[in-house]
Amino acid sequence: MAQYKTGTKARLKRQRTEQAIALAMQGRWEEAVEVNRDIIEVFPTDVDAHNRLGKALTELGRYDDARASYERALENDPNSTIAQRNLARLSHLKEGQFMISEGHPKLGPHVFVEESGKTCLTELHQPAPREVLARMTSGDQVYLRVSSNGLIVENVRGEYLGRLEHKLEMRLMKLMEGGNRYSSAIASITGNDGKVIIRETFRHPSQAGRASFPHREADGFRSYVKESLIRYGLEEEEGSEEVDDNSDWEEESEEDVHEGFSLIEDLGGAVLDHDQDEV
């Protein structure tokens, strides 16, 4: 193993960590594997690096290797909820069952940054089977598709993940028919349940003045999106704060915010903070 001075090691770790996260955000999983292994060679007890390696191996369908990485993370930190959750997820997957192709990047942090009336968080209704959801992680891009049954959520391969709450999907379908466009990503997957973030990316001139997700800002409104979710696209830690679904909302005739989803607020601190990377 190469020898490094303390300052050099710290700088190397920071640079390599930033590189590993950037590769993951770009969907370059093979390269992410190599960079995280380089980190582990110098810092064999780095729990974050073992977790990141497990994530990259999972995306490549190398589930046995991924399990081993998460198990090593737990050896160094038995309380690592990230390792615990991902080992639970992997228990539903078989080796080689789902190979992830290179070039399917995570959506960047801009998707998670609140912009008044343009961003919301919603639960998946009628979710796909657990083994399908288990292949998805936070930050994975998903798509909204209008079907004969309503507005459904699909992954990059066209697999059904769930649908939106009825009033919400009716509203969004009307806006999409009017020319609006939206991007969406997985916010969290927990067992048989999932949440997605939806962001308005284009408002057609015919929809001028009509917010996709109208609301009244509530005092003390809490941010749902954890920095760890944005940093590397894994589930939020236990105890992470969610938006208050019981917040008061401004009614806009038929434009009210509907049951089952919430708006994302106050994300000024949501940045890529690699020095405290939890994943």
* Full set of structural domains in the chain with CATH: 6-90 (1.25.40.10), 109-276 (3.30.70.2330)
CA distance 129 to 132: 5
pLDDT the model gives residue 223: 35
H helix count then E strand count, the chain: 8, 7
pTM surpassing 0.75? no
Cβ neighbours, 10 Å, residue 219: 6
pLDDT the model gives residue 251: 36
Position 146, amino acid: V
pLDDT the model gives residue 260: 44
CA distance 203 to 269: 26
CA distance 210 to 202: 12
Cβ neighbours, 10 Å, residue 206: 10
Return averaged pLDDT per consecutive 10 residues of the chain, 279 residues in all.
65 90 85 95 94 90 92 95 88 60 54 66 91 82 89 91 91 92 88 88 89 57 40 42 35 41 38 33
Q: Which residue has the tokens 């607020």?
A: 265
CA distance 214 to 198: 14
Q: Do the strands 150-154 and 181-190 form a parallel or antiparallel pair, or are they unpaired? A: unpaired
pLDDT the model gives residue 141: 86
Residue 277's nearest CA partner among 36, 33, 8 is: 36
Q: Do the strands 150-154 and 261-263 form a parallel or antiparallel pair, or are they unpaired? A: unpaired
